[in-house]
Structure 1
């Protein structure tokens, strides 16, 4: 078979998690649903000083897209994520952690991902939420 090249193992790039779960649309749906919960939450809503949650929604969407292998728009616009530093001005205690995860759980479940993808995403989100806790209680 002259002219046919063998494709060596490992030369084809695997899809990123971002691509596997549906790309930008999936992350936009996730974060939009999450902020619908935040908008009504008496504990979390005051942590967002902007009247419009749209900018916060966009920042989280772009961060998650980048984290999971999509475009680097977040870092291109905002630099290194520095999540703990960016959350330091806010009191993030166990109650805020739990409220954040409650709204994120609803959003994740509504995506209808495969069990494996949902578990991968949820594992990261629970780790991230725990990492942001900066106050007792």
Structure 2
């Protein structure tokens, strides 16, 4: 497969994003620190994250086409994102990256990008 240099293509595109998001929300739905700020039914949340991560990692701009500018921090302001919730989110994502079998160096690159994003989302002290 011809690579044009995006993480999205390098990890295998939509199928890998789908595996990652499925593995992630399986954990989020059970995490005691995250359950209070996520809906009981994670179907729509996961669908939006698939769109966002596809775009975030260099794939088609599906999120923007459907929802406009991502403005992730603004979209997350209604939720109390504390340092411990940020850590819980990253813990779930780290495990999901392993379960989705994303190879290095992409696993680390993805986790670093998402760690920066998670820090930016914090909006509430403990």
TM-score, with structure 2 as normaliser = 0.92
* Aligned equivalent of 1:119: 108
**Unaligned stretches of 5+ in structure 2?**
none
Q: Aligned pair 1:61/2:69, yes or no?
A: no
What is the DSSP-based 3-state SS (H/G/I as helix, E as strand, rest coil) of the residue aligned with 1:115?
A: coil
TM-score by length of 1: 0.85
Give the corresponding residue for 1:31.
21
| Equivalent position of 1:3 in the other structure | none
The DSSP-based 3-state class of the residue aligned with 2:105 is helix
Higher-Rg structure is 1
Rounded to whole Å, the distance in 2 between the matches of 1:119 and 1:41 is: 23
Superposition pairs of residues 42-81 of structure 1, within 5 angstroms = 42-49=32-39, 51-81=40-70
Instruction: Give secondary structure in 2 for the equivalent of 1:71.
Output: coil
Structure 2 distance, partners of 1:69, 1:86, is 21
| Structure 1 runs not aligned, ≥5 long | 1-11
RMSD (CA atoms): 1.5
Partner of 2:84: 95
- Judged with a 3 Å threshold, the aligned counterparts in structure 2 of structure 1 residues 89 and 130 are, in CA distance, closer, same or farther, namely same
**Count of aligned positions:** 125
Superposed CA offset, 1:15-67 (max 9, x none): 32111100001011111111000111122112123x31000001011100011
